[in-house]
Chain A
């Protein structure tokens, strides 16, 4: 019998295998690739552009930049929120269509399984986010600096990982497909709308601000805005710290629940 590292927590080959599967699945469904880019594009073109024609110079948080510049990082954050949550939650599909069993009876540590799967989902999410950045730039959004762009990628990774973990938690705790989409929308849309993606947090009344403070995406989008276009409500270290803690906590919890998940 070959001695193989079934108990190894980080097992490179299965991680790569799971990653590869996610990439193949993503690229194979053309409609999914296009569809995942259409909504952010609509937000930029049909909300960002028209709003940028309105005089908004006096609104706190919007001073000095156009609405499109303000909105673009928000839409990048939205892409990460949707794609990340979906990537985690799509475990439920694998369960529904039986493929999860094949994975769970393989002699592979479950942490490696979920790590590879999540990395795959995150790769596709970040590619989408980068395409959105590209589209925004093409529409006239000016990026503040090259170093800022690379910092933004770090923020993207943290944001995406946090929501992937969040999606996993929902999927593993919910367990079945029924009502799944409804619950997803019920949770994901409020997170998006109350994240400061569409309007600046500084101009909100304090009660609403407090709600936004407890929303993880607020920090992701603020971080993206600070790094991409140079406007932010919080210092970058704060965004970074909050995201890092959340990312570790949610990803750990998500993978823990996954490892306890019944294959059947």
Chain B
């Protein structure tokens, strides 16, 4: 896989405060890559450096093969950006804003008209293009900004907190457009977010960033696995669960069994595919499972796991994480 972005030891200091601390990573072509971290973690600063808005203090990065400090204009030609704060002219209509952008990126008249129609179509903005931006809803404004961001066929599109301040529905909606964009146009997308669901739903790979450092990089799946095993909770309708516990111990993928309030909690190696196995297993022994549920660690647990471990040195973080789930799923 070709790298669209290569970052090496990228660092930014503001008056002694290290906002981004020796970040090294690559983003491959066609990837949706997320920087996940709390406010002030350095996500936006990192993205700003990649977008040539800020100069790095030390280290280097290449975007589309161009150096972000020495070949700024080259970088600018091949990227699109959606800023964290609104950066769209509210006095103009959506279409005028898109036309403006196309001209600033030197698209000729024919290409511009074709491309503007295309992005309006893809973002489902037809019919709204002649509304003034100030009259559009927050979600629509944001969609216009995303539409503008990929108008000039960028190789890499940066989305800085794309769904900040949007309601749940508008957020989901925008996520689907971002996915669509990645699939249809093959654009590499780099986004920053502090919403766990967002990173989980959208990103192929996520870098967890805290206090300017990357504490983990991997796919959301792998990150979640790193936290710990999945948990299955089941209840038996007939017979005693005691005999089941003994026989369950034979299964190598069951790491731990706990009986609690008439139900069994199994720490397992694996995912959903274990559910039918368990049902069969119980069936063969004449037992009926009345309910079964699989709990997976969420990215939130992952985040707590990684940052908690590195910063606060939380003891027994695994336990903490599981407790947190239980609370959320309303089990206790």
Where the two chains meet, the residues of A that have a C-beta atom closer than 8 Å to any C-beta of B are 1-2, 4-7, 13-14, 16-17, 20-21, 24-25, 28-29, 97-108, 263-264
Interface string of B42-57 (1 = CB under 8 A from A): 0000001001111000
Q: With the chains together, A108 CA to B107 CA distance in Å?
A: 13
Residue B100 contacts which of A1, A17, A29, A105 (CB distance < 8 angstroms)? A17
Secondary structure of the B contact surface, majority rule: loop
- Judging by beta carbons under 8 Å apart, are A17 and B103 in contact? yes
Distance (Å) between the CB of A258 and the closest chain B CB?
16
**Contact residues in B for A105 (Cβ distance below 8 Å):** 51-53, 76, 81
- Judging by beta carbons under 8 Å apart, are B91 and A108 in contact? no
Chain A CB within 8 A of B273 CB: no
A–B pairs, 25, beta carbons within 8 Å: A5-B106, A6-B73, A7-B73, A13-B103, A13-B106, A16-B103, A21-B92, A24-B96, A25-B92, A28-B91, A29-B91, A97-B86, A97-B90, A98-B85, A99-B88, A99-B89, A102-B87, A105-B52, A105-B76, A105-B81, A107-B77, A108-B104, A263-B53, A264-B53, A264-B54
Q: With the chains together, A138 CA to B39 CA distance in Å?
A: 61
Where the two chains meet, the residues of B that have a C-beta atom closer than 8 Å to any C-beta of A are 48, 51-54, 73-74, 76-78, 81, 83, 85-92, 96, 100-101, 103-106, 148
- Judging by beta carbons under 8 Å apart, are A106 and B87 in contact? no
**Contact residues in A for B105 (Cβ distance below 8 Å):** 106-107
Closest to B91 in A: A25
Query: Which of B74, B83, B85 has the most C-beta atoms of chain A within 10 angstroms of its own C-beta?
Result: B83
- Judging by beta carbons under 8 Å apart, are B90 and A1 in contact? no
**Contact residues in B for A2 (Cβ distance below 8 Å):** 77, 106
**Contact residues in B for A29 (Cβ distance below 8 Å):** 91
Beyond A13-B106, A264-B54, is A1–B77 a contact (Cβ under 8 Å)?
A: yes
**Contact residues in B for A264 (Cβ distance below 8 Å):** 48, 53-54
Q: With the chains together, A208 CA to B96 CA distance in Å?
A: 50
Distance (Å) between the CB of B76 and the closest chain A CB?
4
Distance (Å) between the CB of A111 and the closest chain B CB?
13
Q: With the chains together, A2 CA to B153 CA distance in Å?
A: 11
**Contact residues in B for A101 (Cβ distance below 8 Å):** 53, 81, 83, 87
Leading 8 A-B pairs by shortest Cβ distance: A6-B73, A98-B87, A17-B103, A107-B76, A106-B104, A107-B77, A4-B106, A102-B87
